[in-house]
Amino acid sequence: MSSRRAVGPAQAVTVRAPAKINVYLSVGTPRADGFHPLATVYQAIGLYDDVTARPGGSGTVPVRVKLAAADHVDADAVPLAPGTNLVHRAAELLGAHHGRRLRSDISISKAIPVAGGLAGGSADAAAALVALDRLHDLQTTDEALLAIAAELGSDVPFSLVGGTAQGVGRGEQVTAYVDPAIVEAAWWWVVVPSATGLATPQVYAHFDRMRPDAHEAPVVPDRVLAALASQDPTSLAAVLHNDLQAVALDLRPDLVDVLADGEEAGALRGIVSGSGPTCVFLCEDADHAREVAGRLQEQHPVVLVATGPVAGAHRVEYV
Ligand SMILES: C[C@](O)(CO)[C@H](O)COP(=O)(O)OP(=O)(O)OC[C@H]1O[C@@H](n2ccc(N)nc2=O)[C@H](O)[C@@H]1O
Ligand SMILES: Nc1ncnc2c1ncn2[C@@H]1O[C@H](COP(=O)(O)OP(=O)(O)OP(=O)(O)O)[C@@H](O)[C@H]1O
């Protein structure tokens, strides 16, 4: 008989991370490192990827990644080969921080459209950091997790923090708003993804061609915070803004019609999410969002309803 202790069922840690939209996005002229200074208001919305980490990996591939995708997600656009997914990179950087190589099998259950301007890859990276930290009991500090997240991508720290938050720097410096009126406000969004994605670097490069006169020091105006604190959707609709919108529309003129369709369907206002091509539409409340979504479904194959703000990457129990 073996003298080894009986091993219980393999542990699995599942972490859920939300998509983000930029309620306000101001973009400056590129810095010396090529990144653009930003001032943005992020909001995490109720459209999620789940990332599950289990003990695993093979001799040559420490982290194996597999994917299950919702019907509206282009699964073929998600790289899974060793070293190619943001989740691989998250494991590498977290392992390096602790001076060890992390081994794991990671499954991504994806509902956030790929290359949609919704920070889906960032959500997976943030979720993987938290899942691997818990699986390997690494007890990484919040400061270290945020620093590793910033190395992974500009949107990744926000995917950890969630809620409604300000982003500055290249977007990686995130401060959650604490005003209870902002924290407790609930907004209803109708989300219209596009069948084909837009690459973020391409959108920023096009911004430089179209907007050589961009602001040196972008800011979020006080009126945006006042609108968020008012909890009044009409006030927020009036201040929604995205400096990348004109750029995304120039690259993808079909989005002009999508924005018009949403407003004709009764939404208060539509906006391109981040670098696009997803368009999001602010509605009065849950019933209004369902009504607008119902009308949009007559013209668009995929129309989702999501509320925000929601929590950043957080552990969930799978039943
Ligand atoms: C459009 C936004 O989603 C708005 O929140 C983000 O700015 C994009 O964030 P992200 O996808 O996490 O971007 P990263 O992975 O850090 O960078 C991808 C590429 O986007 C461009 N990039 C990104 C962020 C930034 N502030 N300036 C940039 O110019 C750079 O070309 C960079 O090589
Ligand atoms: N886990 C992942 N999920 C999705 N894409 C990934 C992932 N890992 C790497 N990628 C690569 O990253 C690219 C951008 O994917 P992502 O879905 O994050 O775009 P996005 O939502 O437009 O990003 P952002 O809004 O942060 O600019 C994909 O086209 C794909 O090649």
Does 185 lie in the same domain as 160? no
Q: Which atom of ligand 1 is nearest to 37's Cα?
A: 26
**CA-nearest residue, atom 5 of ligand 2:** 121
State which of 84, 86, 279 you would mutate to test the pocket of ligand 2, scoring each by most atoms of that ligand within 8 A of its C-beta: 86
Number of structural domains (the chain) is 2
Does 215 lie in the same domain as 116? no
pLDDT in tens, 239-271: 999 999 999 999 999 999 999 999 999 999 999
Does 198 lie in the same domain as 161? no
Q: Are 52 and 135 in contact (CB under 8 A)?
A: no
With cut-offs at 50, 70 and 90, classify the pLDDT of residue 124.
very high
Identify whether 316 is part of a domain.
no
With cut-offs at 50, 70 and 90, classify the pLDDT of residue 1.
very low
From the CB of residue 252, how many other CB atoms can be counted at a distance below 10 Å?
Answer: 17
pLDDT in tens, 72-114: 999 999 999 999 999 999 999 999 999 999 999 999 999 999 9
CATH number of the domain that residue 292 is part of:
3.30.70.890
**CA-nearest residue, atom 9 of ligand 2:** 85
- pLDDT reported for residue 319: 54
Q: Which residues are within 8 A (CB) of 187 and not within 5 positions of it... i.e. 6 or more apart?
A: 43, 233, 236, 282, 307, 308, 309
Indicate whether residue 87 lines ligand 2 (CB < 6 A). Answer: yes
Q: Which of 149, 177, 205 is the last residue of a domain?
A: 177
Does 218 lie in the same domain as 269? yes
Residue 76 CA to ligand 2 center (angstroms) comes to 12
Q: Which of 142, 177, 212 is the last residue of a domain?
A: 177
Does 193 lie in the same domain as 173? no
The domain in which residue 119 lies consists of 13-177
Give the Cα-Cα-Cα angle 138, 61, 140 (nearest 5 degrees): 10
Q: Are 80 and 65 in contact (CB under 8 A)?
A: yes
Does 66 lie in the same domain as 24? yes
Ligand-binding annotation for 147, yes or no, is no
Identify whether 317 is part of a domain.
no
* pLDDT cut 90: percent of the chain above it: 92
Global pTM?
A: 0.96
From the CB of residue 88, how many other CB atoms can be counted at a distance below 10 Å?
Answer: 22
Identify whether 158 is part of a domain.
yes
Give the closest residue to 136 by CA, choosing from 125, 128, 144, 148.
Answer: 128
Ligand-binding annotation for 117, yes or no, is yes
Give the closest residue to 284 by CA, choosing from 236, 227, 225.
Answer: 236
- pLDDT reported for residue 6: 45
Indicate whether residue 119 lines ligand 2 (CB < 6 A). Answer: yes
Active site residue ranges:
20, 155
Q: Are 15 and 314 in contact (CB under 8 A)?
A: yes
Q: Please tell me the distance from the alpha carbon of residue 213 to that of residue 94, in angstroms, as a whole number.
A: 39
Residue 80 CA to ligand 2 center (angstroms) comes to 12
Q: Which of 127, 151, 177 is the last residue of a domain?
A: 177
Does 189 lie in the same domain as 168? no
Does 22 lie in the same domain as 169? yes
Does 119 lie in the same domain as 268? no
Indicate whether residue 78 lines ligand 2 (CB < 6 A). Answer: yes
For the segment 209-232, the average pLDDT, to the nearest whole number, is 91
Q: Please tell me the distance from the alpha carbon of residue 61 to that of residue 49, in angstroms, as a whole number.
A: 23
Q: Please tell me the distance from the alpha carbon of residue 56 to that of residue 66, in angstroms, as a whole number.
A: 12
Does 199 lie in the same domain as 168? no
Q: Are 45 and 225 in contact (CB under 8 A)?
A: no
Radius of gyration of the chain (CA): 20
Identify whether 5 is part of a domain.
no
Identify whether 84 is part of a domain.
yes
**CA-nearest residue, atom 3 of ligand 2:** 121
Indicate whether residue 120 lines ligand 1 (CB < 6 A). Answer: no
Identify whether 318 is part of a domain.
no
Beta bridge partners of 164: 43
Q: How many residues does the chain have?
A: 319
Tell me if residue 121 falls in helix, strand or coil: helix
Does 299 lie in the same domain as 228? yes
**What mean pLDDT value characterizes the chain?**
95
Does 197 lie in the same domain as 117? no
